[in-house]
Amino acid sequence: MHVALFDYGAGNLHSLGKALEGAGAEVTVTADWDESLSMDALVLPGVGAFGAAARALPNDRTRLRQTLADGLPCLGICLGMQLFFDASEESEGDGIGLVPGTVQLLDAPIVPQMGWNDVDTGADPIFDGISELVGYYANSYVCVPTDAGDEIAWSEYDGRRFAASVRRANTWGMQFHPEKSSTKGRRIVSNWVQLAREVIG
């Protein structure tokens, strides 16, 4: 399976690429949207600012949004997950708009959230074989979907419960970094690769 790992100039590409290759995917790092959407699956990495990453999206998000809505397997991590949404309080710029909602600043005395946090997982196959998940976070903002049905996992930080993971069609988002979350985090990456394989047949 050939996966496009999109490079918008700020993502954590190396460790994520290694995790995907370890799960059996062939990875191409690219900043070209035509190339990205022609592959079997797409990964949007984490790390960076929403505004800068939004500027790396196509000027017209329609094709990208529709391709994901039509079922192209996609995994968004941290900032990559936030790009699925309409907009962010962090900076100007439109997201992809696949998942209705906004990205909001964490309401906590200490921001960013850095380090390990428990993740309560819902019944989604991307979490198959995983129990008592603890994810590695590095975030100042959290995603707030308009429809809570898009949420498939949750964490709590300083008393605020927030979406740790979302799903719409064959697009999954993780606010934490599975590639940095030990064996169980890498299992999430492996599960996603397997799910993507099933989608493409």
Report the residue count for the chain. 201
- Inter-residue contact 4 to 30 (CB < 8 Å): yes
DSSP code of residue 150: G
CA 125 – CA 186 distance, rounded (Å): 14
CA 20 – CA 114 distance, rounded (Å): 23
Looking at residue 67, its amino acid is: T
| 91 alpha-carbon distance from chain centroid | 19
How far is the CA of 179 from the CAs of 74, 110, 164, 174, in angstroms? 15, 24, 15, 11
Q: What DSSP element (H or E) covers 164?
A: strand 160-168
Catalytic residues: 78, 177, 179
| 107 alpha-carbon distance from chain centroid | 21
What token pair was written down for 14?
């190396």
Beginning with the edge strand found earlier in the chain, give each strand of the sheet holding 101-105 in spatial order: 87-88, 101-105, 141-145
